[in-house]
């Protein structure tokens, strides 16, 4: 299995645990920062992959702005 697939599976499992714990505790904000970190990491990886190999869409590509 590739590293990207392993990471996606790991992130999926972590997010599922967060959702389960939210349901158990009734706290909708539980794990929100962890969820944000995972989503940002996935966007960074996807962005890097697309910019590395853009295919037929290079003129349409721009970098996302990241908030501080």
Residue-wise pLDDT for 17-56, tens only, equals: 999 999 999 999 999 999 999 999 888 888 888 778 777 6
**What is the model's pTM?**
0.67
Buried b (16+ CB within 10 A) or exposed e, 14-50: eeeebeeebeeeeeeebbeeebeebeeeeeeeeeeee
Domain that holds residue 13: 3-60
**Measuring CA to CA, how many Å separate 32 from each of 16, 19, 28, 55, 63?**
13, 10, 8, 34, 24
What is the number of domains present in the chain?
1
Residue 49 lies in a domain: yes
Residue 34 lies in a domain: yes
pLDDT score of 12? 92
Residue 66 lies in a domain: no
Residue 27 lies in a domain: yes
**Residue 47 and residue 7: Cα distance in Å, rounded?**
16
Tokens found for residue 3:
């590293």
């Amino acid at each position: 299995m590739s590293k990207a697939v392993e990471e996606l599976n790991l992130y999926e499992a972590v997010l599922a645990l967060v959702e389960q714990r939210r349901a158990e505790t009734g706290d909708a904000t539980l794990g929100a920062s962890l969820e944000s970190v995972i989503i940002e990491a996935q966007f960074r990886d996807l962005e890097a992959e697309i910019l590395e190999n853009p295919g037929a869409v290079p003129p349409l590509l721009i970098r996302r702005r990241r908030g501080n």
